[in-house]
A and B are shown apart, each in its own frame.
Chain A
Amino acid sequence: MKKEVKKVQITPRRRFFTNIAQSASLGVMGGLIWAGYAEKAKGSTLTLRPPAALEEKDFLRTCIKCGLCAEACLHRESNIDKETLQPRPATLKMAQAQDKATLGTPYFIPTQVPCYMCEDIPCVPVCPTGALDVSSVTNEQNELDFSMMDMGLAVVDPNSCIAFWGIQCDACYRACPLLDEAITLEYGRNERTGKHAFLKPIINMDICTGCGLCEKACVTEKPAIFIQPRELALGKPGDHYVKGWDEKDQKRVASQTGKDMTTRTQRSEEKVTDYLNEEVSYD
């Protein structure tokens, strides 16, 4: 047999590693594209979820996309059109591929159909996975309590709200299911005319559930009051700001001890002069 010097030997070992590399590269490439798409598909932070939904990150983990909440929403007892005896459109929609929310997850758009805050909250107990957490809308008497819902927070744009212009409008105030609690009217004197009153809607953010009935009722072309997810609508002052006048906030820091931060200078050695209460002589 002739000996070929320059021919590369295709050994079984070389074949094995080449095949492994081929399969692995295909897997890695596919996996990266897939993961990239999945990150994008997590959707918009503006998505409004059903009542009692877990925090968005945990919600996306836990929701199995079965649609039982949307079906319960559509067939809720209070949703029958009295004229046709047919159910009206559901609040909860299952996201389709073109929607901004993650494919197959339930969400709602208040300007289309807001959440009517049913007393029996039919959409929540049907959830098989706990992505809609019954305990977050159950009160101390072990009853479902719709006032504990938290889908978002209403925000007023004072520049486009005509009540802030001085035109009388209390559409959102009257539409609110927690009337005079979640939205209150602040009365004020209209200095421009000198003889009219302002009736400005003010959101009480501890009570507002984000149902969106106010957004649906708003009379302006694009609603001047609208729902945003809480984490988007709210800021955060940080733990080190303490309300000195709030007993609850005081208790929060009662157990905390800070190190001595007093600035000491030469003058610190001298006695503090209580010049308001003691007689001070300025010689």
Chain B
Amino acid sequence: MINFSNYKYLILRRISQLSLLFFYFGANAYGWNILSGTLSSSLVLGTVPLTDPFAVLQMLAAGAVLSVDVLLGAVIIALFYGVIGGRAFCSWVCPINMVTDGANWLRRKLYIDKIERKIWVSRNLRYYMIVIALLVSFVTGMASFEIISPITILNRGVIFGFGAGAGLVVAIFIFDLFVLKNGWCGHICPLGGVHSIIGKYNFLRVAHTSEKCTLCMKCKDVCPEVQVLHMIGKRSESVIMAECTNCGRCVDVCDDDALEFDIRNYMKNNLEVTDENVN
């Protein structure tokens, strides 16, 4: 019997991701104006602009003259994730997340983690990718990540029809399944890097209570950015590393209520540190 409380955030995330795609698709297919455009730039209810901040950065590097609408849209997105969401774009919005989560799920089912030859790739690669993307944009005079991004290819594919770009989505799936665990979302994707930076100081965070923890390590099994859970069973504190995507999978799988979403309290964190120092 499936215990639905162990899938709460996973189900909510899939609803979020799929309904966004559904509204985008409907905007093109049936002319709805709830959410039109693509993840690069959208219009909500035909009025509020939303723009991908990384696309805007690349356009700036390429030498584009930016319009007020685009800048406003990027500021809205940056403010939302910067204050509330953190890196939630990656797990609640991005359609590639469903592809790489699928690869991860299959990975666990096939015990690939336990068998494969490990390749070590730095998880900081994504930050270098941002720099390279901006340099290439500057040299070629064109937003460089936007022409290879599997995210926009998948997003546009659902809205306007796929084509050969579907191959790239399949490639990401195979790469994450057989080559490198969390390869795309956890190592390479510069958009994830940008959202890590934007959401570094947000308020909504997972908090760990080590007294309740039974060290079953289910959370570390499912976490796509496992390094952020370094405090499990050791210290009661918030998951504050920028790479946490706020996917809530760890909260879902924890049977001991040792992980919960909470509002990050900067003052409290500081006090705890002083308490430890005193002890």
Q: Which residues of A contact B (CB under 8 A)?
A: 23, 27, 30-31, 34-35, 37-39, 41-42, 57-58, 60-62, 64-68, 70-71, 74-75, 87, 93-94, 96-99, 102-104, 126, 128-130
**Chain-A contact segment, one of B41-49, B103-111, B175-183:** B41-49
Tell me which of A41, A64, A70 contacts B40 (CB under 8 A): A64
User: Contact between A128 and B73 (Cβ–Cβ < 8 Å)?
Assistant: yes
**Complex contacts, A68 vs chain B, CB 8 Å:** 36-37, 41, 43
B140 within 8 A of A: yes
Tell me which of A27, A62, A96 contacts B64 (CB under 8 A): A62
**Chain-A contact segment, one of B5-13, B158-166, B195-203, B258-266:** B158-166
User: Contact between A70 and B67 (Cβ–Cβ < 8 Å)?
Assistant: no
B206 within 8 A of A: no
User: Contact between B67 and A130 (Cβ–Cβ < 8 Å)?
Assistant: yes
Tell me which of A30, A39, A103, A128 contacts B165 (CB under 8 A): A103
Q: Interface extent on B, as a size class?
A: 35 or more
Tell me which of B132, B147, B159, B164 contacts A98 (CB under 8 A): B164
Known: A34-B148, A66-B41, A68-B37. A128 touches B136 (CB 8 A): no
A178 CB → nearest B CB, Å: 29
User: Contact between A104 and B128 (Cβ–Cβ < 8 Å)?
Assistant: no
B6 CB → nearest A CB, Å: 38
User: Contact between B59 and A61 (Cβ–Cβ < 8 Å)?
Assistant: yes
User: Contact between A31 and B132 (Cβ–Cβ < 8 Å)?
Assistant: yes
**Complex contacts, B146 vs chain A, CB 8 Å:** 64-65, 104
Tell me which of A34, A60, A71 contacts B28 (CB under 8 A): A71
**What are 7 of the A-B contact pairs (CB < 8 Å)?**
A27-B131, A64-B40, A65-B146, A68-B41, A71-B28, A97-B168, A128-B43
Q: In the complex the two chains form, what is the Cα distance from A38 to B142 in whole Å?
A: 8
B143 within 8 A of A: yes
Q: In the complex the two chains form, what is the Cα distance from A126 to B56 in whole Å?
A: 17
**Complex contacts, B253 vs chain A, CB 8 Å:** none
Tell me which of A75, A94, A130 contacts B65 (CB under 8 A): A130
User: Contact between A60 and B165 (Cβ–Cβ < 8 Å)?
Assistant: no
Beyond A35-B139, A61-B63, A96-B162, list 13 extra A-B contacts (CB 8 Å): A27-B132, A31-B136, A38-B140, A61-B141, A64-B70, A71-B27, A74-B28, A96-B161, A98-B163, A129-B64, A129-B66, A129-B67, A130-B65
B167 within 8 A of A: yes
B126 within 8 A of A: no
A-facing mask of B50-79, CB < 8 A → 1, else 0?
011001100100111111011001000000
Measured CB to CB, the nearest residue on chain B to A37 is B148
Q: In the complex the two chains form, what is the Cα distance from A30 to B140 in whole Å?
A: 15
User: Contact between A64 and B51 (Cβ–Cβ < 8 Å)?
Assistant: yes
Closest 5 CB pairs of A and B: A96-B163, A66-B41, A97-B164, A98-B164, A97-B165
User: Contact between B136 and A61 (Cβ–Cβ < 8 Å)?
Assistant: no
User: Contact between B43 and A64 (Cβ–Cβ < 8 Å)?
Assistant: no
Q: In the complex the two chains form, what is the Cα distance from A71 to B28 in whole Å?
A: 5
User: Contact between A87 and B31 (Cβ–Cβ < 8 Å)?
Assistant: yes
Q: In the complex the two chains form, what is the Cα distance from A104 to B146 in whole Å?
A: 8
Q: In the complex the two chains form, what is the Cα distance from A75 to B141 in whole Å?
A: 32
User: Contact between B147 and A75 (Cβ–Cβ < 8 Å)?
Assistant: no
User: Contact between A96 and B165 (Cβ–Cβ < 8 Å)?
Assistant: yes
User: Contact between B153 and A97 (Cβ–Cβ < 8 Å)?
Assistant: yes
Q: In the complex the two chains form, what is the Cα distance from A64 to B162 in whole Å?
A: 18
**Complex contacts, B37 vs chain A, CB 8 Å:** 66-68, 71, 128
B246 within 8 A of A: no
Measured CB to CB, the nearest residue on chain B to A39 is B140
User: Contact between B69 and A128 (Cβ–Cβ < 8 Å)?
Assistant: yes
Q: In the complex the two chains form, what is the Cα distance from A219 to B159 in whole Å?
A: 34
